[in-house]
Amino acid sequence: MPIAGPLLLCAFLPVALGQLAEPEPEFLAPLENQTVTQGRDMYFTCVVNHLSSFKVAWIKSDTKAILAIHTHMVAQNQRLSVTHNGHNTWKLHVSNVQKNDSGTYMCQINTDPMRSQMGTLEVVIRPDILNENESSEGGGVAIEGGTVRLKCHATGIPEPTVLWRREDSRSLVLRHDGGREKQVLRTYDGDTLVLGNIQRSDMGAYLCIASNGVPPSVSKRFTVRVHFHPLIRVSNQLVAAPAASDVLVQCYVEASPRAMNHWTRDTGEKLIPNEKYSMEETILNEYSLLMNLTIRSMVKKDFGGYVCTSSNALGKAEGVVRLQEMHMAKTTTTTPAPRIVDLKPRKTPHREKPKKYKRPTKGRKDSEDEGDLESTKIATLETRTLSPSLSATPSATKPPPWVLQRNGADTPNRYVSALAAATLLLLINY
């Protein structure tokens, strides 16, 4: 390669040759403007006819730097290179495109006057979200009524737009003017989301999503927590149940941060799980749950008050459920069962049916003699009541399907009454 150096660009014997009949060099196609994502490779293509002894050079026009002449690199940049196809096509390659590569590039022929064409390289950068070292990093916590501020600092070229939404697609609620005004939105545009006068229902995960047209968009997840004094609601404050039945009592709890929940008798006695009591919690959402207490085989001393308590760092709440004895004879012959009745067999007979049939229980042995499947099914309920007056129930119009059975050796004096159970179910569903 005998020719080198930028000096060539200055007039180089074009005049003498220009007088001949040879056609002037010409560009066959314009340089393409290109938009390239940072990190990718790209090239400009310059096609020249009738170059004869002229040379093609590449120049970065904004800095006036000569990058290459013919196939010789001038710029000291490992990411640049030139190729020539041996005919009329020159290419300037830029690998691993960087932000400072953007600008106007010129393909130039050293005629006099020189000929050139230009193309631009626009470098774009996919959006990114900075992890800032802030207290709101990853989310925010506030006391109910306070303010949580979430900031999403996004970078990229062109500058990304930022929008917010809730992860579960519930609406965003923005409260202004101390809660007197509120805006319910699916998404919010802006890099900072301010949740003022925040409520427990605002708790959950929020996403900020940054996009600038260069895929992919990015998102960041924030967790918002709202702390408040626990709250307890008891829907059935009075529960009537017959002796020997199993009873479920329930408290609805809202608390955040998570609370310690427990049950006591109204005497203050703390209840622990054993064969008498079982306690369960059903989580409903980020801040609410159901406390279930099942009391088995009600006896006289089990009637009375039960207190559910929920306490967290912000305080304590209590709910009281009163259990009253229901006398079967009265309820079936006089006023209809009160709606507050909350007696439920812990397992429905229908669901239990197949299992019970397979299990050889003591009750089953007796019932086989009767050949009455219906009574077998109900007899396995854990409702054990003996009440002779039950025969007076109005539902007993056809021959009673129930039978009185011995209920095994463990409760020798107890009887299982199919009709009693059936009547109770009727009352519940009433």
Ligand X SMILES: *[C@@H]1O[C@H](CO)[C@@H](O)[C@H](O)[C@H]1NC(C)=O
Nearer to ligand X, 33 or 391 (CB): 33
Nearer to ligand X, 83 or 292 (CB): 292
Nearer to ligand X, 30 or 138 (CB): 30
Strand 80-84: give its sheet, edge to edge: 26-27, 42-49, 89-94, 80-84
Give the residues lining the site for ligand X (CB under 6 A).
30, 32-33, 98, 100, 120, 133, 250, 280, 282, 290, 292
Nearer to ligand X, 77 or 411 (CB): 77
> How many angstroms separate the CA atoms of 11 and 13, rounded?
6
* Least distance to ligand X, CB of residue 427, Å: 17
* Least distance to ligand X, CB of residue 247, Å: 12
CB-nearest residue to ligand X: 280
* Least distance to ligand X, CB of residue 132, Å: 8
Nearer to ligand X, 99 or 362 (CB): 99
* Least distance to ligand X, CB of residue 343, Å: 12
Nearer to ligand X, 189 or 280 (CB): 280
Nearer to ligand X, 130 or 313 (CB): 130
Cis peptide before 216 (omega within 30 of 0): yes
* Least distance to ligand X, CB of residue 397, Å: 32
The beta-carbon contacts of 73-79 under 8 Å, at least 24 apart in sequence, are 74/5, 74/6
Nearer to ligand X, 100 or 169 (CB): 100
Work out whether strand 204-211 and strand 218-233 pair parallel, antiparallel, or are unpaired.
Answer: antiparallel
Q: What sign does the dihedral 58-60-61-65 (CA atoms) show?
A: negative
Nearer to ligand X, 121 or 422 (CB): 121
- State both tokens at 7: 């000096």
* Least distance to ligand X, CB of residue 284, Å: 10
Contact 205, 168 (CB under 8 A): yes
* Least distance to ligand X, CB of residue 14, Å: 27
DSSP-assigned letters across all residues of 158-190:
SPPEEEEEETT-PPEEEEEGGGTEEEEES-EES
DSSP-assigned letters across all residues of 232-298:
EE-S-SEEEE-TT--EEEEEEEEEES--EEEEEETTSPBP--SSSEEEEEEE-SSSEEEEEEEE-S-
- State both tokens at 90: 């020159």
Phi first, then psi: what are they for 110, rounded to 5°?
A: -85, 50
* Least distance to ligand X, CB of residue 344, Å: 7
Token pair 């299982």 is at which residue?
416
Residue type, 292: N
Burial 335-368 (b: 16+ CB within 10 A, else e): eebeeebbbbbeeebeebeeebeeeeeebbebbe
* Least distance to ligand X, CB of residue 3, Å: 25
DSSP 308: E
> How many angstroms separate the CA atoms of 233 and 254, rounded?
9
Nearer to ligand X, 22 or 32 (CB): 32
For the chain, the straight-line distance linking the first and the last C-alpha, in angstroms and rounded, comes to 102
Torsion of CA 372, 377, 381, 383, to 10 degrees: -30
* Least distance to ligand X, CB of residue 290, Å: 5
